[in-house]
Structure 1
Amino acid sequence: MVALLIAILLSILGRQFNFYIRGIDAYAGYCMGAATFLALAHTFAHGEHIRVTLILKRFTGSPRRVLELWCVALGIAVSGFFAFYACKMVWWSWKFNDISTSNDATPLWIPQLGFAIGSVVLFIAMVEEFFLVLRGKPLDDTPAELARTE
């Protein structure tokens, strides 16, 4: 996030004082993408992702536990899919020496690392959540104060 701020400020200053840093807009985009994906697991672990609990709250006991496990298993499948293909994309970009089409010609595997690492960490967080739910942790443990404001 700090690198994104610096890139944007340099771009603004460049327009004001007539200097140009090649690829600064591309670097701002890379930083924004990396910040987004690197924050996914932390956001998930703190229950800040949007969770649709309308159906889940209607069940109790064993059916609810099965539904919770199914939801987390689906999350594992989706995040695993993204993690696998993100890593594959980084590998192929490195192997073929793929470079940015902007005027900075950055090797694309470098900014793609944020996407891949963030996706893998989210997958790990989902697997951890699955085992926590399997051990008895409720999937929806949102504090009452937070639930009232939604």
Structure 2
Amino acid sequence: MRRFLDAIYLSAAALAALFMVGLLAMVLLSIISRQFQFHVPGTDAYAGYFMAASGFLALAHTLKRGEHIRVTLVINMLKGRWKRGIEIWALGAATLLALLFAFYSVRLSWQSYTFHDISTASDATPLWIPQIAMALGTVVLAIAFIDELVLEIRGRRALQNPAEALRNE
């Protein structure tokens, strides 16, 4: 099961990287088109779609790598059962919020599909298409939070210290 979950997180991160490359392509296309006086409609909209997709799809991988911002001022002062209890409470609250976020993201995408919502930009893209990446990213994030909560409850969660947080400046 661990390998399967890690594969999901890694696959979402790989998709995020592909969307980041797509974002780069859209920005470069926009710059080149201005330099050579031709216009490619929708480049700004697609750059925005790709940026949102890369951000949402990278959330779970970032969480599992310990790179999300955590305010540990209070929790680092606690020891033993108190610390573990606060960790479980925080992960439980985060899991609930992630599940709600995932539910409403999937619902938004489905409603956009059902109502045939299209972008108001010049590209007129059906909105459910870019919203799928948001929905997928939030579902994978909810799975990652459930995973972290279960690991914490079972006493198997290993907190990762990101390199940036270890630097003293």
**Band the TM-score falls in, shorter-chain normalisation:** over 0.9
1:108 to 103, 127, 130: 127
Identity percentage over the alignment? 49
Residues 1:34 and 2:34 aligned together: no
Q: CA deviation at 1:22?
A: 1.2
Residues 1:23 and 2:25 aligned together: no
Q: CA deviation at 1:140?
A: 3.9
Question: Which residues of structure 2 form unaligned runs of 5+?
Answer: 1-19
Residue 43 of structure 1 corresponds to: 62
Change (3 A) 1:139 1:54: farther
Change (3 A) 1:98 1:66: same
Runs of 4+, deviation exceeding 2 Å: 137-141, 145-148
Residue 127 of structure 1 corresponds to: 146
Change (3 A) 1:113 1:28: same
TM-score, normalised relative to structure 1: 0.94
Does the CA-based 8 Å contact 2:102-2:135 persist in structure 1?
Answer: yes
> Partner of 1:68: helix, strand, or coil?
helix
Partners of 1:20 and 1:48 lie apart in 2 by 39
> Partner of 1:126: helix, strand, or coil?
helix
In structure 2, give the amino acid aligned to 1:103: S
Residues 1:148 and 2:149 aligned together: no
Residue 14 of structure 1 corresponds to: 33
Does the CA-based 8 Å contact 1:68-1:139 persist in structure 2?
Answer: no
Change (3 A) 1:56 1:91: same
Q: CA deviation at 1:138?
A: 5.0
TM-score, normalised relative to structure 2: 0.84
- Cα RMSD of the aligned pairs, angstroms, is 1.4
Partners of 1:89 and 1:147 lie apart in 2 by 36
Question: Which residues of structure 1 form unaligned runs of 5+?
Answer: none
